[in-house]
Structures are given as C-alpha cells and as structure tokens.
Amino acid sequence: MRSGFELGMDHIVAALSRRKMFSTSKICIAGLILFIYLLYIMLSSEHPKITPQKNLSMSGKHPRNVQKTSASFIIPASDEYATTNRKGKKDKNNNTDAAEGNSRRVLIVGAGLSGAVIAERIVNVCQGFRVTIVEQRDHIAGNCFDYVDHETAVRVPVNIKTVNAVFNLTIETETEMKAWLKKHQITPPSGKATNSEETAKSRVGERLYELLFKDYTKKQWDKYPAELKPSVLERIPVRSNADGRYFHDTHQALPSRGYTRIFKRMLDTPAITVKLNTEFFTSRKRGTLGAHDYLFFTGPIDRYFESSGLPALEYRSLEFHREVFNTTNGFYQPAAAVNYGTAKIPYTRSIEYAHLPNQEYEHTKLKPLKTVVYHETSTDKGDPYYPVPNERNTALYKKYQDMANAEEGIVFVGRLASYKYFDMDDAVRNALDTFEKWVLSNDLSDECDLDLNERFRTNA
C-alpha cells in the first residue's frame, strides 16, 4: 500500500530534463471490496456527528518527532482504550459491556488494518465473542493512522503523455502508443522476466527504465532492480492511452474524515477492548495478557519465532523530514507527491498533503497560506513497512511459514505475518478471507453467520 498507506494518483508533470519524476502518490483505497466494506463501516454505526476541524492535514503515515494532539481520535498514552459511553451499551449481537463468563475470548496482536478488520468481523458476525487487541504503539490504525496538524493547513504511470514528454514525440492514439511500446520493449533472454530489471525493460524499454525506475528502486529497497523479484516492478502501470491514474479500479476514494475515524468506528463496541502501549512479547512474558481462546498475530513472523535461531527477514522502513512553507502564491510543489527518480536526491519522494481532497485550511482563492511537506527517505532501520522480495527472503520465509503452520491455536495474518506486500484493498480482502477460514476450521458456523461476511467478497 509502494506502501498500503499511500495517497493520490500518479502523473508525470515536470523536470524530466533534470531526471526528476513528479507524481501524486497512489490512492490508498483501491478496489470494490474496500469501498463496500468501508462504506458499510461508515454508515452502519450510529455515532454522534463530529464537528469538522479547520487546518486539517491528514498523513498516511505516522512521522516521527511530530507533536500529536487530542484531535482526530489520537489516543492518549494510557494502558487501555475503551470506547466512549461503554457502560451498559450493547453491540449488534446484543453483547453487553459486562464481561460475560461464557463469552469466548479472542486476542489480536496489532490494531492495524488486518487486526481491526478481524476484530470487527468477529463481534459483528459472530455471537458470544469478546475481543482484546494489544497494540505496541500509542494509537490505533497502524500505518494508516492520520492526525491534525494545527500549525498548517494541512506522471507515473507511463502513458502517452510520459513518452511524448521524454522523447519529444506527438503520439495521439492508443495504436501509436502500442506500436511505440512494442518497438522499445526488451524481451528477457529467457523469454520470461526473472528480476525487476527485466520486468521494467520488457514493459517500457531501456530509456524509461533508466530514467524512472533504476535509481528510485535502489533508494527505496537498497537494491537494484536486478536484485529483486519481478513482482516489485510488475505493479507499475503502463498504459497505451493518456490515463494518468495509478489504478484502474472503478471505485477509488479517500475518507472524508481520515482513516483513523474509520478505525474508530470499526472498533467502537463494548465487545472490543484495545490496549495501547502494550508490547505482546513483553506482556506474554510477564503473564499480563490474560486468558484467551483464540489468537491472531499481525506482527512480523520472524519476531514471533525469534527464539528459533533463524536469521531475521529483511524489511525496509521510512524516515520523515518535515518542512512548513509559506505559500501565498500557491502550493509548494506541483502535485501531492513528487517522486525523485535520480540518485542525486536522497529522498524517494515528497508529500504535500494540502493537494489531497477533504482538506480544510486558511486559504486565498483555495490556495493555502501555509503548507506542510514531508520528505521520505527509505531506510533499513525503524518500524518494518516493506518486505524485501528476493530469493534469500523468499526461502527464509518458507521456513518461518512451516513453523507457523505447525503452531496450534494461532492465526498469522497481514502483511508482516505473511511477509507479503499488500495494498489496502488486498489487506482487507485477506483479512476477510482469513476470518472465514478461521470460522470454518474451528467449526464455528453456528456461532458466526458467514452470509454477513459474503457481501464484502462478492464481485471483489
């Protein structure tokens, strides 16, 4: 969700002569399944309306060293989060706030997208379950967490416009564009791409590979495309028309009140308790997790089996550098995201959130007076964001997967537990499928109405 928590649509807009690639980043929610599921979450719960706040700047990540506020559902650093007005409240399955002795107890490690979807499905589809989520961070929503910045207001894919700009051509039709691509595409020596360099060249040719993908990939992954599996650059769209959207999905959206608000609604039931600042392994060692009948683990799979003696899997993370600009004459940069394809610039990209929809800020003729920009740099330190797909990690993950399959009473789910890159819609669908498999494998069909789950999977 690049990462599951990226925003926007990508377009090349300028400065190719200086080997820069400007783009808006891709929309986080792609696909009908996520659209239907989140629409259901937003509309199905009866919640008091929240007054819109000014100077709203939503970040798809949680940058370090940012002053957080109590706005936009930012959880204080306390041991436990309980939804408001919990006492005596009943959820959709008539579960009361009281801890019932006959309820089955589910423990979920991680309050990100996979953990939240699993929790929401259990309490809304199944009867007689109570869920506890332990989250080591001080907020819910994982890497989808967003917040209010009170100080401020808040063309890949390759297409006809790309080729015309780079090569000074005048391609106008899809037929002409397809002919150009066919002429420049390089067939891999074996006939099938075995790495991402061969993938990119087989799709866009040598020149665009060198200009747009080679150095950018090295900065992002600390590996050149030839060192990575083909899947990394297979995700890059290549179009024979002028469509500049990153995705072609029919339904694409950004939540009007931010992602955290969606997570709040998903978890807003007395049948779910979220414990923040609670590290699973430390709590397990201390014996403070409490009894549970089922366990879902959404963290790094190699961390769970750390005592096995196997080497650690590789992950990439991000560092964020924040700048605020006075912009009385307009936005600071030409698009929401500027991706830097050259090795001369250390950042992989810069994000200006004021470009994104659903922002409210002090402005003149819809141009912000101040704007915040975050520069992103890829690193191998920090929270794990991206699994690194190469042969070494694929073989190593298989060993971890074999150990996970041998474990009883635990389900490994999500991007880190599966060591697999998921876009947000993929993460939701994976969680829905995992929930259904869990119901069937534990013979819980009488307790859980899977027909209620099927509506989110139909036509996805």
Note the pLDDT tens digit of each residue in 83-98.
333 333 444 444 444 3
Angle at CA of residue 303, ends 415 and 1, nearest 5°: 20
Domain range for 349: 315-379
The DSSP-derived string for 24-83 is PPPPSEESHHHHHHHHHHHHHS--PPPPP-SS----SS--TT----SSSSPPPS-S-B--
User: Any idea what the CATH number is for the domain that residue 405 is in?
Assistant: 3.40.50.720
**Shared domain check, 307 and 264:** yes
Distance CA 21, CA 438 (A): 44
Residue 391, CA distances (Å) to 188, 189, 232, 243 in order: 19, 19, 13, 34
Residue 5 counted as domain residue:
no
Residue 275 counted as domain residue:
yes
Please give the biggest Cα pair distance in the chain.
Answer: 72
End position of a domain, from candidates 329, 352, 379: 379
- Structural domain total, the chain: 3
**Shared domain check, 225 and 172:** yes
Residue 196 counted as domain residue:
yes
Residue 85, CA distances (Å) to 82, 88, 105, 132, 270 in order: 9, 8, 22, 18, 9
Residue 292 counted as domain residue:
yes
**Cα dihedral sign, 300-418-78-256:** positive
Output the pLDDT for position 295: 98
**Shared domain check, 217 and 185:** yes
Residue 246 counted as domain residue:
no
Q: Which residues contact 419 (CB under 8 A, 6 or more apart)?
A: 301, 313, 387, 393, 397, 400
**Shared domain check, 272 and 414:** yes
**Shared domain check, 275 and 392:** yes
Output the pLDDT for position 241: 74
Distance CA 439, CA 445 (A): 6
The predicted-structure confidence for 254-276, as pLDDT tens digits, reads as follows 887 888 999 999 999 999 999 99
**Shared domain check, 442 and 406:** yes
**Shared domain check, 337 and 403:** no
The predicted-structure confidence for 13-39, as pLDDT tens digits, reads as follows 333 333 333 333 333 444 455 555 655
- The pTM (predicted TM-score) of the whole model is 0.66
**Shared domain check, 261 and 218:** no
End position of a domain, from candidates 333, 360, 379: 379
**Shared domain check, 292 and 190:** no
**Shared domain check, 259 and 205:** no
Output the pLDDT for position 442: 96
Element (H, E) at 201: helix 196-208
**Shared domain check, 227 and 174:** yes
- Residues of the chain with pLDDT below 70 are 1-101, 147-157, 244-246, 328-330, 358-368, 455-460
**Shared domain check, 418 and 335:** no
